[in-house]
Structure 1
Amino acid sequence: MTHTARRMYELLEPICLVTFLAEECNRELAALGHRTYWDGYFASRAAPLGRVPAQVVHAAFYSFADGEAARHIPSAWATIPPEASIAARERGSAASLRRILGAELAEDPGLVRAADLTAKAATGAPTEGRVMYAGMRTLPVPSDPVARLWHSATMLREHRCDGHIAALVGARIGGTEAHVFSALAQGIHPAESFGRIHHLPKERLAAVMGGLRERGLVGADGRFTSAGRETQQRIEVLTDQLAAPPYDALSPAELDELVTRLEPITATVVAAGSQ
């Protein structure tokens, strides 16, 4: 099932990314009164957890710098109810996906079937140890097929993210270190130039890189050592293994059909850059 989990990640991730890359979601959140992109991001993604403190959001999101969640939570909810941010996120994401796909593909019976099968997988896994996934499981699954596909894909994304965090914790790789690993795995060098961490204080980045060197995971040249590469690969394999349970809800025939139904949808979204 690890192969299935990886293939489904490849097919579903571009659908989820419209939330972060396309304009419709940003416009919906801004219309509510969220002042910045990150206010809307934190308010809408964390909202299924309820009005929890910033420390809980920081722990659940894992990879943000210390204090980043506290710049947006709980202030982003002060005048905008979390439920409103959830609804805006769904509206905007579904609108962008519908625009990218066009009327013919968005209204195709194959998309309806893909949405139904994705929802079946997304609602069929245990929630224990899956904080963000469990939060999304409390939300109603949309009746509109395009919104249902996006919502279900995002549930599966949060399920995978929860498992990825567990794999990182088990490997003793912290949030900023995880970004370094991601950068190096993508061939970005120096890793400190990676977009998710380049804005951090230089002393913070130096400490992170120094710690990885001391552990023998990164060499003096700032690239993976063999031990670092093995650790990164082990984390990815475990992430796939932990992401597999939702797909147990589907029969082999349903899995094959889901892949077939998703391929033209995802190809269209990828061609548009998810935006």
Structure 2
Amino acid sequence: MDSVARRLNELFVPIHEVAYMADEPNEELQALGYEGYWPLYFASRSAPLGRVPAEVVDALFYNFAPGEVAACVPSCWEVATPEAVLAARERGCVKALRGILAELADSPVVARAAELFLKAAFSVPVEGRILFAGLRSLPVPEEPVARLWHAATLLREHRGDGHLTALVAAGINGQESHVLQALMWDMKARDFGRLDPLGDEQLDAVLDGLRQRGLVDDDGWFTPAGRKLRNEIEELTDELAAPAYACLAPDEVDELVTGLVPIVEKVNAARPF
């Protein structure tokens, strides 16, 4: 059986990801004056940290190609303040979720799931979880759909911070992590969109480094050692996420799963990818 951390990850991630897959958050951010996708992405995701330098965002986001973050940070703060960006992002995500969920948006399940997710998110310390700590410093919204999205975002970034810890512990850098993810999805590295910013020579250098460590073969696919390491990273990510859910009784976990499955099915059905 999958761990509680893995089971709940499959529920809160789709809710959080309306921030990236729906039009409404982008439209709200574009209304502030942002043009193009990446400036509004870096502004909205790093806004809980305030006006930090590109080097900080680059280190925290971990897996962007050299220069991607600096092209947008700190210039993104010339368009709008972090506070305005956070408000626009939340408005857009709530609009998107309400449009997707229709009558389910006002069901008691939404409010109850938000309550349980928030219970989990506020039950653990923030040490070593920089983005999670920034998000937890923000006011929790009152409106139920906004609370659910905010709670899902807290748990997503809590897990994400732990995942970076697992990658660093395994000696996997940002671009290598993209390659390993592509291979987990049975996709060649060059076909993985997040590796597009790398030229052929740069990507070859990343693959060569993994090859020298016995993690990929001559054709660019996993070796047994590479697959084992990537599975171990995911297992450690689960372990690092697990303390957030220790506060939930088994019947509360079952309540979350039962209540959120139809909601998440609607969200997944609306995904454009």
TM-score range, shorter chain: over 0.9
What pairs with 1:108-127 in structure 2 (closer than 5 Å)? 108-127=107-126
What does residue 81 of structure 1 align with?
Answer: 81
Q: 1:243 to 1:274 in 2, by over 3 A?
A: farther
What does residue 142 of structure 1 align with?
Answer: 141
5+ residue gaps, structure 1: none
Question: How far off is 1:268 after superposition?
Answer: 1.2
What does residue 5 of structure 1 align with?
Answer: 5
Residues 18 and 274 in structure 1, CA contact (< 8 A), matched pair in contact too? no
What do the CA deviations read for 1:132-181 (whole angstroms, capped 9, x no partner)?
A: 10010011111010011011001100000000000000000110100000
What pairs with 1:121-270 in structure 2 (closer than 5 Å)? 121-189=120-188, 191-270=189-268
What do the CA deviations read for 1:76-107 (whole angstroms, capped 9, x no partner)?
A: 002311110011111101110110001x1001
What do the CA deviations read for 1:166-199 (whole angstroms, capped 9, x no partner)?
A: 000000011010000000000002x122111023
TM-score between both structures, scaled by the size of structure 1: 0.96
Query: Which amino acid in structure 2 is aligned with residue 140 of structure 1?
Result: P
The root-mean-square deviation of aligned C-alpha atoms, in Å, is 1.3
Partners of 1:2 and 1:167 lie apart in 2 by: 19
Query: Which amino acid in structure 1 is aligned with residue 37 of structure 2?
Result: Y
Residues 137 and 155 in structure 1, CA contact (< 8 A), matched pair in contact too? yes
Residues 48 and 138 in structure 2, CA contact (< 8 A), matched pair in contact too? yes
Residue aligned with 1:244, SS = helix
Q: 1:244 to 1:2 in 2, by over 3 A?
A: farther
What does residue 48 of structure 2 align with?
Answer: 48
Q: 1:243 to 1:168 in 2, by over 3 A?
A: same
Question: How far off is 1:4 after superposition?
Answer: 0.3
Partners of 2:245 and 2:95 lie apart in 1 by: 27
Query: Which amino acid in structure 2 is aligned with residue 55 of structure 1?
Result: E
Partners of 2:26 and 2:79 lie apart in 1 by: 18
Moved over 4 A (4+): none
Residue aligned with 1:71, SS = coil
Residues 124 and 244 in structure 2, CA contact (< 8 A), matched pair in contact too? yes
* Greater Cα shift, 38-47 or 196-205: 196-205
Partners of 1:158 and 1:2 lie apart in 2 by: 20
TM-score between both structures, scaled by the size of structure 2: 0.97
5+ residue gaps, structure 2: none
Residues 22 and 96 in structure 2, CA contact (< 8 A), matched pair in contact too? yes
Partners of 2:250 and 2:211 lie apart in 1 by: 44
Query: Which amino acid in structure 2 is aligned with residue 161 of structure 1?
Result: G
Partners of 1:237 and 1:257 lie apart in 2 by: 24
Partners of 1:2 and 1:241 lie apart in 2 by: 12
Partners of 2:79 and 2:232 lie apart in 1 by: 44
Query: Which amino acid in structure 2 is aligned with residue 57 of structure 1?
Result: V
Partners of 1:198 and 1:73 lie apart in 2 by: 20
Query: Which amino acid in structure 2 is aligned with residue 156 of structure 1?
Result: L
What do the CA deviations read for 1:104-136 (whole angstroms, capped 9, x no partner)?
A: 100111111111111111222110000110010
Partners of 1:88 and 1:172 lie apart in 2 by: 37
Residues 32 and 79 in structure 2, CA contact (< 8 A), matched pair in contact too? no
Question: How far off is 1:272 after superposition?
Answer: 1.5
Residue aligned with 2:150, SS = helix
Q: 1:263 to 1:274 in 2, by over 3 A?
A: farther
Query: Which amino acid in structure 1 is aligned with residue 12 of structure 2?
Result: L
Residues 160 and 243 in structure 1, CA contact (< 8 A), matched pair in contact too? yes
Residues 44 and 85 in structure 1, CA contact (< 8 A), matched pair in contact too? yes
Residues 136 and 155 in structure 1, CA contact (< 8 A), matched pair in contact too? yes
